Amino acid sequence: MEAMSRNILLAVLALLLSPWCVAQLEPTQSGRGQAPQGQAPPRSDDSASSSSSKDRPVGIAPPANDADHPGADAADVGEFKKYDPHRAAKDAEVAEYYAKQGNHRAALWRYQDALEYMPNDPTVIYKLAETYDRLEQPQPAARHIVLYLRLAPEGEFVEAAKKLQQRLRPVILALAKTPGQKQAFALVDEGAVLLSRHEFRGAIAKFQSALEADPKNEDATFFLADAYQQNGLMDEAGATYRSYLRLSPGGVFADSARIALQHLPALRGEGIPAKPDLPTSQPSESPR
């Protein structure tokens, strides 16, 4: 009788516990480590991509409301690649390979990448000028030549740069459509020579005169900002770099102007002291 009662009790317990046991054996529909219903389970490379930006494109554009705060200037906003001479050298090496193969468009892109990783590198700037010339783009070629001669007045490619500059002069002049543009070109050319000699005061006067003749001259605006910076006039340099970015936000020197604006606060008070009679008027600002 006692054994029968024990068997009945065990049977009742088995019936009561059977739903719980079945629930433990069934797979759950959601929870930690489980994909929600209707969604594919995560792949192994998803976790890797969440920890590294190399496997996916990263947006570097400023937020839509970034320029809403007081004193903001949309032209100043931008992110740049981390300074990396090793990566720049690799990009330049690949660019050289493309150039030797005659693929100058691909070479241009890699030189541009190299310059982002190591801004103001004279060799890369000269190679960019050379590549633009081979792609029959005389204006950016001439602009990079001017910058190269300013950065490396006794550099490895000075003679070749001067020959290229001399050859491009009539080509650039032919692109001028008005007398004011032609006059501005001649003044920018004279200012560029002074800039390459580090005669910043004379260069400033030439670029300012060029902007009086042609207020929208991109070259005069950028090189005037550069001359101001080299002469220690940081406030004037900042205002003129911003003028350039408003004039040509996607121009050849747009990244250089933004980088300069980032570095100007650390450079204030350095440079050649300005004489009291040094002209410091700003170029006319074009509409946004």
Domain boundaries, given as residue ranges, for the chain: 78-175, 177-288
The three-state secondary structure class of 70 is coil
Band (pLDDT 50/70/90 cuts) for residue 7 is low
- Stretch 128-144: mean pLDDT, rounded? 92
Q: Kindly report the CATH number that applies to the domain delimited by 177-288.
A: 1.25.40.10
* C-alpha gyration radius of the chain: 32
CA distance 101 to 49: 35
Give which of 268, 139, 284, 138 is closest to 221, Cα–Cα: 284
Give which of 225, 229, 268, 265 is closest to 247, Cα–Cα: 225
Task: Say what the pTM is.
Answer: 0.60
Pick 107 or 25 by higher pLDDT. Answer: 107
Q: Kindly report the CATH number that applies to the domain delimited by 78-175.
A: 1.25.40.10
- Stretch 184-190: mean pLDDT, rounded? 91
Q: Do domains 78-175 and 177-288 have the same CATH topology?
A: yes
Band (pLDDT 50/70/90 cuts) for residue 55 is very low
What phi, psi does 248 have (nearest 5°)?
-145, 75
What phi, psi does 81 have (nearest 5°)?
-65, 150
How many percent of the chain have pLDDT more than 90? 41
Q: If residue 81 lies in a helix (H) or strand (E), which one and from where to where?
A: none
Contacts of the segment 183-191: beta carbons below 8 A, 24+ positions apart: 183/210, 183/213, 183/214, 184/210, 184/211, 184/213, 184/214, 184/217, 184/220, 185/210, 187/213, 187/220, 188/217, 188/219, 188/220, 188/223, 191/220, 191/223, 191/224, 191/227
The answer on pLDDT for 33 being more than 60 is no
pLDDT for the residue numbered 100:
94
pLDDT for the residue numbered 162:
92
Question: Ranked by mean pLDDT, which of 18-32, 77-91, 168-182, 209-223 comes out on top?
Answer: 209-223
User: How much is the mean pLDDT over the chain?
Assistant: 74
The answer on pLDDT for 46 being more than 80 is no
User: Is residue 214 within 8 Å of residue 204, measured between CB atoms?
Assistant: no
Give which of 120, 285, 151, 278 is closest to 204, Cα–Cα: 278
User: Is residue 228 within 8 Å of residue 272, measured between CB atoms?
Assistant: no
Helix and strand numbers, DSSP H then E, in the chain: 12, 0
Pick 131 or 175 by higher pLDDT. Answer: 131
CA distance 55 to 44: 13
Q: If residue 184 lies in a helix (H) or strand (E), which one and from where to where?
A: helix 179-196
